[in-house]
Amino acid sequence: MGDTTNAQPLLQVENLRVEFPTRRGTLVAVDDISFHIDEGEVLGVVGESGAGKSLTGAAIIGLLEPPGRVASGQIIFDGARIDNIGYEKIRRLRGNQIAMIFQDPLTSLNPLITVGRQLTETIRTHVSVDERAARERAIELLNEVGIPAAERRVDQYPHQFSGGMRQRVVIALALAANPRLIIADEPTTALDVSIQAQIITLLKRLCKEHGTAVMLVTHDMGVIAETADRVAVMYAGRIVEVGPVQDVIRHAQHPYTHGLMNSIPVVRHDVEQLKQIDGAMPRLTDIPSGCAFNPRCPKVFEYCRDARPELVDVGATRAACWLYDDTRRAGDTT
């Protein structure tokens, strides 16, 4: 992809393909996608279940569950490839340079170890400090993520924290080594709305203060609208549209993004019927030929079934849709 900005992006993903070999053939879950994240930028990755957004995140930090594997493509972090560097090196990178926040805070915390131990362990893995300094840093981190009485709570176990507080602890863990990129996979989905608002505000503040870049994976357009600078919309393993968040939300170019935005009910917005996209996301076993969205697309024409569209500049965003290829449209006879 000819990205010709002067500054080198922090993360560059090129033609990434994630496959699952099965007895009945190979399933392609992420199909030849390219994108980048700049230093200090929040990139939202949005899509419905099965779009491949979480797998993309997992592939970047080498956490794909076998038999899933990166079949081709490159992942370049800070100028160096990280998709072929071996287990030990990627492990050192994780937590140190790239951290991960998962949906369910309980699964990322060890229930048998105090929050403080988990924090100091992480800190000492990545920074050479003694136990006391690490503990001080742990308390400092808990303070920073807004946990009251951090000096006391540092010695408590995860079950003594409520859901929102636990997610704060997970964020503190992610920040422990001052990473340059955080991959947050549905970080607010398990939380109530009022807590979700607190966590979004916190993430935004911390990223601004630390200059941390974030890849925010979520199905919730509202969270994206509140948080992201740019957004990539995924459908059936492909990026169908990518651009500045305002442009994608207000002037979506791809029919899928457009349909998705219109199918979301909005408070104080009276409509008798929501505009719906008929059908459902295809399964990996039978992804339609050509543009994967073509069976559900209201603007489909003959060519869409034959060839797969690539991302092209459309207005302020980039969209992968034949509608914006004048020669194809002109040649359409339907």
Partner 1 sequence: MNKNDVLVRLTGIGKDFDVSPPLLNRLMERQDKVLLKAVDNLSIDIPKGKTFSLVGESGCGKSTVARLTVGLYRPSRGSIVYDAIDMATLKTQAQIEPVRKRMQMIFQDPYASLNPRWRVSDIIAEPIRAHKLISGKSAIDQRVAELLVQVGLAAVDRVKFPHEFSGGQRQRIARALASQPEFLICDEPTSALDVSVQAQILNLMKELQRQFALTYLFISHDLAVVYHISDFVGVMYLGRLVEWSDKRTLFQRPWHPYTRMLLDAIPDIEMSGRQRIPVAGEVPNPIHPPSGCHFHPRCPYANDRCRNEVPAPIQKDESNVACHAVQEQRLPDVAVTGEPADVTTSG
Is 219 one of the binding residues for partner 1 (CB under 8 A)?
A: yes
Residues 6+ apart with CB under 8 A from 294: 288, 300, 304, 305
Count residues contacting partner 1 (CB under 8 A)? 54
- The number of residues in the chain equals 334
Between 65 and 270, whose beta carbon lies closer to partner 1?
270
* CB of residue 113 to partner 1, shortest distance in Å: 23
Give the burial class of 67: count Cβ atoms within 10 A of its Cβ; 0-12 exposed, 13-18 middle, 19 or more buried.
exposed
Q: Contact, 213 vs 222, CB < 8 A?
A: no
Tell me the closest approach of the beta carbon of residue 36 to partner 1, in angstroms: 23
Burial 208-238 (b: 16+ CB within 10 A, else e): eeeebbbbbbbbbbebbebbbbbbbbbbbbb
- Smallest gap from Cβ 56 to partner 1, in A, equals 17
Among residues 76, 262, 301, 328, which is the contact residue for partner 1, using CB under 8 A?
262
Give whichever of 125 and 324 is closer to partner 1, judged by the CB atom: 324
- Which residue lies nearer to partner 1 by CB, 44 or 62? 44
Phi–psi pair at 286, nearest 5 degrees: -140, 70
What 3-state DSSP class applies to 250? helix
Q: Give the CA radius of gyration of the chain.
A: 21
Min CB(216)–partner 1 separation in Å = 12
Pick the closer one to partner 1 by CB: 10 or 297. Answer: 297
Does 163 bind partner 1 (CB under 8 A)? Our answer is yes
Tell me if 195 contacts partner 1 by CB under 8 A.
Answer: yes
Pairing relationship of beta strands 317-319 and 312-314 according to DSSP bridges: antiparallel
- Options 42, 61, 100, 221; binder of partner 1; rule CB under 8 A: 221
Judged by CB under 8 A, the residue of 4, 6, 128, 194 near partner 1 is: 194
Cβ neighbours for 146, distance < 8 A, ≥ 6 positions apart: 168, 198, 202
Residues that bind partner 1 (CB under 8 A): 48-49, 162-165, 192-198, 200-201, 219-223, 225-226, 245-246, 249-253, 255, 258-278, 280-281, 283
